[in-house]
Structure 1
Amino acid sequence: MTARYRARPPSPGAPARPATASRPTAGLLPWLVGAVAGVLALGPALGRGYVLRYDMLFVPELSLPAVLAGTDGFPRAIPSDAVVAALTLLLPGDVVQTLALLAVFTLGGAGAFRLLVRLSGPLLAARLPDAPQGAVLAAGAAAGVAYVWNPFVAERLLLGQWAVLLGYAGLPWVLGAVVRLASARPTAGLAGLVCSLVPAAVGGFSSVVLSALTAGPQALAGPRRCRNAALFVFALALVSLPWLLPSLTSGAATDPAGAEAFAARSDTPFGVLGSLLLLGGVWNSGAVPPGYGEPVTALARLLLCAVSLTGWAWWLWRSRPAVGIGLSVSAALGFGVALLGVSAPGREFLAALIGLWPGFGPLRDGQLYLAPLALVQALGLGAVVLWLLRVLALWRVVAVVFLVLAPVVVLPGLLWGAGGRLSPVAYPGEWLAAQEAVAADDRPGAVLILPWSAYRGLDWSGEPVVVLDPATKLFDRRTLWNDDLSVGTADGGRVVVTGEDARAREAARLLEPDPESGLPGPELLADPDALAELLGGLGVRYVAVSAPVDNRFWSGAEELSVVVEGVDLTLLEVSDQHINADKDDISGLEVTGGLVTVGAIIWSMARSGSSLGFQRPQPQTVRGARKEIPK
């Protein structure tokens, strides 16, 4: 005898898992989709050597103590650099870079794929009962490809902001973890949240801000909103400690001029508003992928965005997915922030906010906050695929294949390392010799980086594009370098955003560097020994001149000796009698904060049994399903 009963419907906020494919296939395919997209996008960047482009700077044997000691500015790169430095203890630096870049596409593609699969259960059961087996996998593939292959990813990748993109890749996982809070016990829910926030923890403060924007409204939209919001805020605080605690004592100030410098700009024929809707509009024209702004490709991208947004609206109307309201609010808020810098009143408002409190500084790069809209468009494209596959037919299959590949078709400029723009190179021998010479010296003292310019073109870097001076991260001690940023404006002018490192500003005041050459002022060049005494007073033991320059300020100087001399890098040592330097110590409070974050991540992984927040869902059945229990 068997007893039959009608299964209880799933609780609100806990989407049913569709039974459309076997678990092994559904578990492997999301990762495969993301990995293949990554290989196609990165191409030559996956080879040996270092890809150097704008903010993307990896060096051989990045020093972990130097990273943890930090600087006097805002600790933007401490989490990502600390993880890279720790990994380079086990792997070569270029291999670490390859894994980091590939992780962006693999995590992001798999996350969007799995989120679509989890959310599509009610839609398939209630609205599309005739959908064939495997339809949800095709929809997931479309969502995964669209999430990692769009202008937002391309432009941030060409800016070299791999850490930001790692946090972006984690957003679908964070959103899924917040959805599960509605049906999970507090401890299990917190563990899942912390796990899902691991990419944001590595990415740093911008990634944490994006996570808060993307999943915060969802935490407030579902059931048990007060408890969920409290757990979400607590999880964000836990993973933020490595950069949050140093920022409280850094004394950094944010220049309000950044509101104009980093405002979104048009990179398509549709103006700034249209460019943002297409997930473009980055402030740096050098980061626009090749061919993207052409009328044909821009129009094709516009059509794809329209289809995706229509699919999202249809999904909201037909089945009200668990993340529908929350993610829609996040996308609207992010789009509004991106628009703030477009108009003069908006820029003035942003500048006033930043002047009032430096914590508003992250709002200056408005285009960054299009990330939730990118997830909306990816899920919307997946919904369109689900609709097309209601009944299996040849033309629908062709249409689905086209939609899955459409993000690649309309953005071919991202293919194979953005047409070769992401090509790895090797560090010249003199750079490695200078690194070894400084590492062999256990005496305290900083390294001054000249010329006094943060970004420069390197003759040996392959692609003719500026990059953050590798000497700023090459050595195992504190470096003093010009962290000001000069940005060209749309009208042909330039805006200089003042750096945040107080000690670097003091060095600039004393050195009075020449704006053209970036070398110390004429009076100091005429008296090298006086220059050496000034450098010693700043706590500088070495000077790294990382460009071919006139050597007149050290030739014949008794107090400046050449340690390494090459074509485009010379390492000078200041006479020991002038050095007034203390060893850079790591703050105990900052170490404690980092240990708390690492401990919380380890606990969350052990508690959830997962490296991210997508634990295997418990078997659920949808309304109307029948189950037989043997008697």
Structure 2
Amino acid sequence: MRSRHTAVAAGAGLLLGALALGPALAPGFVLAYDMVFVPRPALSEATFGLSGMLPRHVPSDAVVAALSHLAPADVVQKAILLAIFVLAGASASTLVPGDRLLPRLAAGVVYAWNPYVAERLLLGQWALLLGYAALPLVVTTAARGDHRRLVLALLPAAIGGFAALAVSGLVALVVVVARRQGVRPVLATAVILLLLALPWLVPSLLRASSAPADPAGVAAFAARADTPFGTLGSLLLLGGAWNAETVPGGYGGGLTAAIWLLVVVVAIVAYARGRRIPGLAAAAVLGFALAALGAVVPGVLRGAIGLWPGFAFLRDGQQYVAPLAVLVAAGAGRATARLPGWTAPALLVPLLLLPGLAWGAGGRLRAVHYPADWARARTAVTADSGDVLVLPWAAYRSYPWNGGRRVLDPLPRYLPARVIVDDGVSVAVSGGRDIGLAAEEPRARELDALVRSGDPLAAPLAAHGVKYVAVDAGAPDGRLAGAERLVAGPDLTLYRLPGAVPEDSSHVPRLPVYIAWFITFATFMWSGRVPTSNLEKRSIPKES
């Protein structure tokens, strides 16, 4: 019976996904902030973190590239986006004890349709949401203490990469500690997390240059208020993402925010009064504290980053509200089970209070096609590979052919070569000021002063090993005198620089990275001996 109910919850998640994505499901690619998919993605050095860049998209880019050899890349993107909603609905339904369908559906709806999902989707952070979707399974399997099942539950987060695994790993460790079964289960969980993190952890540690962490990012990425209840109230309502442009339309008004607050409070109370999952409440409290850290005590976080740059993973604190979302979903399902009149609100209120997520967030998520100029540039670079520098010197673009929507430059994934972009971002914060963050990619830092100098670029860039310059439409090209124009079109211009001298840029040693990937793959093979249908068969122990 439970498996049938989980299947129904998955089907409900599929319907929610179709409603949320709308025009994004049309042929083409959805490009929004960090969501970058390209046709025929190549398995390059950057895909595996071997290029010396920070491996932010490892292993998610490799998984997408592999799947794109089995199906068109735009189909792969849509399947992944729909899978987030399907998995969220199905996994959250397992949080509710008993065999009643409607409470389990209520938990799935609340978990799949809320401000956290909406804002992170508009930020384009599909990899983080993939881990978020499976987080309820991580909670329940960690509470059972079965490490094989835990590895399977962590698979979506492992695919998602650093941020997804950081959130899921934090929750798994807190839940295991709360079981009070001694040190060995905690150590075993930590080892599992380490093994799953190896594909991005090893290239991070082997980078020739240190990973800079600009303390200014604390203010740039701190949680912010998107409701009348301030920053902490917005976080309690599962919103509060740092980027004001990703707030869905119609969200945050006084009346709707008050009703949503009532839903959240009722859900929390219902969870607290019922059978609790060991460690879930502690994980939700800890996650909430981490989410508020950069907004409430930014000096503490800046000081921590100054001591060790690795603490920069706490800058985007709002992502750690995810365990609170699990608790709210569990409570919503249990409130539905106890209060017959709560069923309709639990199923419909999330949709009514957050209509801005529907139909591609009001058209903000829409499929487009890459211009023909880009395909011609890829053909030219494929014929004669070499480093490509992109102008204008900025990380994000607002292409006319993408409806002016802001997106991380897709050229590093689109072109089959090492592409150098300025990955330092500028973030607008309250008070009308911008916070500029330093570039992190070694080649971008090396060439930053030259590109910004205003001097001619062709000969100096060639001397630094740059063979091509790709220029967005409308950007000035007077500094490239003497370069050969290979592609000239309304959407992209590609130049080849004569006399380019290949430069030995620092690359990560291959063998340790290959070994890391093999170990992680072997870990999943070990866990694969457990049938996935058994993930929710055993009961969750009661919190003492």
Q: TM-score, with normalisation over the residues of structure 2? A: 0.95
Report the RMSD for the aligned CA atoms in angstroms. Answer: 2.0
* Structure 2: gaps of 5 or more residues: none
Counterpart position of 2:186: 229
CA distance in 2, matches of 1:543, 1:598: 38
Q: Does residue 454 in structure 1 map to residue 395 in structure 2?
A: yes
Which one of 157, 160, 175 corresponds to residue 203 of structure 1? 160
CA distance in 1, matches of 2:32, 2:157: 22
Contact 1:155 1:287 (C-alpha < 8 Å) held by counterparts = yes
Q: Does residue 522 in structure 1 map to residue 454 in structure 2?
A: yes
- Letter of the structure 1 residue corresponding to residue 321 of structure 2: L
Counterpart position of 2:75: 95
Counterpart position of 2:448: 508
* Superposed displacement of residue 240, structure 1: 0.3
- Letter of the structure 1 residue corresponding to residue 491 of structure 2: D
Counterpart position of 2:314: 363
Q: Does residue 348 in structure 1 map to residue 313 in structure 2?
A: no
Contact 1:447 1:543 (C-alpha < 8 Å) held by counterparts = yes
Equivalent runs, 1:528-543 vs 2, <5 Å: 531-543=457-469
CA distance in 2, matches of 1:191, 1:312: 28
Counterpart position of 1:595: 518
- Letter of the structure 2 residue corresponding to residue 160 of structure 1: G
Contact 1:261 1:283 (C-alpha < 8 Å) held by counterparts = yes
Q: Does residue 156 in structure 1 map to residue 156 in structure 2?
A: no
CA distance in 1, matches of 2:190, 2:282: 18
The secondary structure found in structure 2 opposite 1:115 is: coil
Contact 1:449 1:472 (C-alpha < 8 Å) held by counterparts = no
Equivalent runs, 1:555-594 vs 2, <5 Å: 555=481, 557=482, 560-575=483-498, 577-581=499-503, 587-594=510-517
Contact 1:561 1:572 (C-alpha < 8 Å) held by counterparts = yes
Counterpart position of 1:219: 176
The secondary structure found in structure 1 opposite 2:313 is: helix
CA distance in 2, matches of 1:280, 1:23: 31
- Letter of the structure 1 residue corresponding to residue 26 of structure 2: G
Counterpart position of 1:516: none
Counterpart position of 1:608: 530
CA distance in 2, matches of 1:313, 1:194: 28
Cα distance 1:23–1:305, how it changes in 2: closer, same or farther (>3 A)? closer
Equivalent runs, 1:167-316 vs 2, <5 Å: 167-181=131-145, 189-250=146-207, 251-315=210-274
Q: Does residue 435 in structure 1 map to residue 435 in structure 2?
A: no
Q: TM-score, with normalisation over the residues of structure 1? A: 0.82
CA distance in 2, matches of 1:34, 1:225: 37
CA distance in 1, matches of 2:328, 2:511: 44
Contact 1:174 1:196 (C-alpha < 8 Å) held by counterparts = yes
Contact 1:471 1:546 (C-alpha < 8 Å) held by counterparts = no
- Letter of the structure 2 residue corresponding to residue 80 of structure 1: S
The secondary structure found in structure 2 opposite 1:341 is: helix
Per-residue CA shift, 1:537-578, capped at 9, x if unaligned?
3221111112322232335x1xx1111111121111122x33
* Superposed displacement of residue 296, structure 1: 2.1
Tell which deviates more after alignment, 419-428 or 71-80. Answer: 71-80
Contact 2:54 2:440 (C-alpha < 8 Å) held by counterparts = yes
Per-residue CA shift, 1:412-446, capped at 9, x if unaligned?
111111111111000010111111221232x4x21
The secondary structure found in structure 2 opposite 1:253 is: coil
Contact 2:49 2:58 (C-alpha < 8 Å) held by counterparts = no
Cα distance 1:156–1:28, how it changes in 2: closer, same or farther (>3 A)? same
CA distance in 2, matches of 1:380, 1:355: 39
CA distance in 1, matches of 2:230, 2:92: 29
Counterpart position of 1:145: 109
The secondary structure found in structure 2 opposite 1:147 is: helix
Which one of 326, 329, 333 corresponds to residue 378 of structure 1? 329
The secondary structure found in structure 2 opposite 1:494 is: strand
CA distance in 2, matches of 1:253, 1:90: 37
Counterpart position of 2:434: 494
CA distance in 1, matches of 2:358, 2:431: 31
Per-residue CA shift, 1:254-292, capped at 9, x if unaligned?
111111111111111111121111111111110000000
- Letter of the structure 1 residue corresponding to residue 432 of structure 2: G
Counterpart position of 1:37: 16
Cα distance 1:619–1:269, how it changes in 2: closer, same or farther (>3 A)? closer
* Superposed displacement of residue 221, structure 1: 1.3
CA distance in 2, matches of 1:598, 1:329: 31
* Superposed displacement of residue 229, structure 1: 0.9
Contact 2:220 2:427 (C-alpha < 8 Å) held by counterparts = yes
* Superposed displacement of residue 499, structure 1: 2.2
CA distance in 1, matches of 2:303, 2:465: 36
Counterpart position of 2:363: 420
Per-residue CA shift, 1:18-44, capped at 9, x if unaligned?
xxxx35622421211221111111111
Q: Does residue 479 in structure 1 map to residue 419 in structure 2?
A: yes
Per-residue CA shift, 1:298-357, capped at 9, x if unaligned?
122112112211211221xxxx33x1x4010111111111221223xx111111111111
- Letter of the structure 1 residue corresponding to residue 407 of structure 2: V
Contact 1:451 1:547 (C-alpha < 8 Å) held by counterparts = no
Counterpart position of 1:52: 31
CA distance in 2, matches of 1:566, 1:592: 44
Cα distance 1:180–1:24, how it changes in 2: closer, same or farther (>3 A)? closer
Q: Which has the larger radius of gyration?
A: 1
Which one of 345, 358, 382 corresponds to residue 402 of structure 1? 345
Cα distance 1:69–1:334, how it changes in 2: closer, same or farther (>3 A)? closer
Q: Percent identity?
A: 44
- Letter of the structure 1 residue corresponding to residue 530 of structure 2: S
Query: How many residues matched?
Result: 537
* Superposed displacement of residue 522, structure 1: 3.0
The secondary structure found in structure 2 opposite 1:65 is: coil
CA distance in 1, matches of 2:29, 2:443: 29
CA distance in 1, matches of 2:288, 2:59: 27
Cα distance 1:166–1:618, how it changes in 2: closer, same or farther (>3 A)? closer
* Superposed displacement of residue 616, structure 1: 5.6
CA distance in 2, matches of 1:360, 1:619: 36
* Superposed displacement of residue 223, structure 1: 4.5
* Superposed displacement of residue 472, structure 1: 2.5
